[in-house]
Chains A and B, each alone.
Chain A
Amino acid sequence: MSKIIGIDLGTTNSCAAIMQDNDLAIIPNTEGMRTTPSVVSIMKNGEIVVGEPAKRQEVINPESTIFSIKRFMGLKLDDPSVTKDKELIPYKLVAAANGDVRVEVHGRQYSPPEISAMILGKMKRDAETFLGEKIEKAVITCPAYFNDSQRQATKDAGKIAGLDVLRIINEPTAASLASGFDRKTKRKIAIYDLGGGTFDISILELGNGVFEVKSTSGDTHLGGDDFDQKIIDWLIEDFMKKERLDLRQDRIALQRLKEVAEKAKCELSDKPVAEITLPFIASDSSGPKHLNAKLTRAKLEDLTKKLVEMTIPPCEQALHDAGLKPQDIDEVVLVGGMTRMPKVRETVKKLFNKDPYPGVNPDETVAGGAAIQASVLKGNIRDILLLDVTPFSLGIRTEGGMMSKIIEKNSTIPVRKGEIFSTAKDNQTFVRIQVYQGEKPMAADNKLIGTFDLVGIPAAPREVPQIEVSFDVDANGIVRVSATDLGTGKEQAIKITPNSGLTETEITQYAKEQSEAKIVAKPEAAKQKNVEYDEVTSDKPADEAELRKTNKKKGLFGLFGG
Chain B
Amino acid sequence: MNENYYEILEVYPAATLQEIETAYRMLLYKYHPDHNPDRAEWAHKMTAKVVEAFQWLSNPEKRKLHNFQIYCQVKRKAPERRFMFFQGKQKKQWELSVAHFKAGVMLFDRQKAKAMAKFRDAVLQWPKFPEALYNIGLCLVDMHKYDEARNYFKKVMGLNPKDQEIHRTLRRLDELSKK
Contact = CB atoms under 8 A, between A and B. Distances in A.
Interface of A: 166-167, 208, 210, 373, 376-377, 379, 382, 385-387, 412, 414-416, 418-420, 463, 466, 468, 472, 474-475, 486
Contacts of B29: 382, 385
Contact of B110 (A166, A387, A416, A418): A418
Which one of B48, B52, B106, B110 has the highest number of Cβ atoms from chain A below 10 Å of its Cβ? B48
A166 B37 contact: yes
B74 to A, nearest CB: 15
Contact of A420 (B34, B55, B111): B111
A374 to B, nearest CB: 10
Contacts of A420: 107, 110-111
Nearest to B114: A420
Given A167-B34, A377-B37, A419-B110, A414 B51 contact: yes
17 contacts: A210-B28, A376-B35, A377-B37, A382-B35, A385-B25, A385-B29, A385-B32, A385-B34, A387-B28, A387-B32, A412-B55, A416-B48, A416-B49, A419-B110, A419-B111, A475-B34, A475-B44
A416 B107 CA distance: 18
A415 B48 contact: yes
A205 B107 CA distance: 37
A414 B34 contact: no
A472 B35 contact: no
A474 B33 contact: yes
B45 interface: yes
Nearest to B106: A466
B25 A414 contact: no
Contacts of A210: 25, 28
A420 B104 CA distance: 13
Given A385-B28, A420-B111, A472-B44, A414 B33 contact: yes
8 closest A-B pairs by beta carbon, nearest first, are: A416-B48, A414-B44, A475-B33, A412-B51, A414-B47, A414-B48, A420-B110, A415-B48
Interface string B33-66: 1110100000011011101100100000000000
A414 B28 CA distance: 11
Interface of B: 25, 28-29, 32-35, 37, 44-45, 47-49, 51-52, 55, 103, 106-107, 110-111
A439 to B, nearest CB: 20
Nearest to A386: B34
Contacts of B103: 463
A418 B48 CA distance: 12
Given A210-B28, A415-B52, 11 more contacts: A208-B25, A210-B25, A376-B34, A382-B29, A385-B32, A385-B35, A414-B33, A414-B51, A416-B45, A420-B111, A475-B33
Contacts of A463: 103
A420 to B, nearest CB: 5
A472 B48 contact: yes
Contacts of A379: 35, 37
A92 to B, nearest CB: 40
Contacts of A208: 25
B118 to A, nearest CB: 10
Contacts of A373: 34
A516 B25 CA distance: 47
Contacts of B33: 414, 474-475
A412 to B, nearest CB: 5
B42 to A, nearest CB: 11
Given A377-B34, A420-B107, A415 B51 contact: yes
A255 to B, nearest CB: 43
A371 to B, nearest CB: 14
B108 to A, nearest CB: 11
A9 to B, nearest CB: 20
A415 B47 CA distance: 8
B110 A474 contact: no
A517 to B, nearest CB: 31
B109 to A, nearest CB: 9
A525 B111 CA distance: 66
Contacts of A166: 37
Nearest to B47: A414
A386 B34 CA distance: 8
A415 B52 CA distance: 8
Contacts of B25: 208, 210, 385
Nearest to A373: B34
Nearest to A487: B106
Which one of A376, A379, A414, A416 has the highest number of Cβ atoms from chain B below 10 Å of its Cβ? A414
A475 B32 CA distance: 9
B158 to A, nearest CB: 32
Nearest to A210: B25
B13 to A, nearest CB: 23
A185 to B, nearest CB: 15
A562 B33 CA distance: 59
B164 to A, nearest CB: 34
B51 to A, nearest CB: 5
A91 B107 CA distance: 55
Nearest to B33: A475
A377 B43 CA distance: 13
Nearest to B26: A208
Contacts of B55: 412
A412 B25 CA distance: 13
B96 to A, nearest CB: 15
A416 B44 CA distance: 9
A415 B49 CA distance: 8
A245 to B, nearest CB: 57
A386 B25 CA distance: 11
A457 B163 CA distance: 43
Contacts of B34: 167, 373, 376-377, 385-386, 475
Contacts of A416: 44-45, 48-49, 52
Nearest to B38: A379
Contacts of A412: 51, 55
B165 to A, nearest CB: 28
A474 B44 contact: yes
A472 B45 CA distance: 9
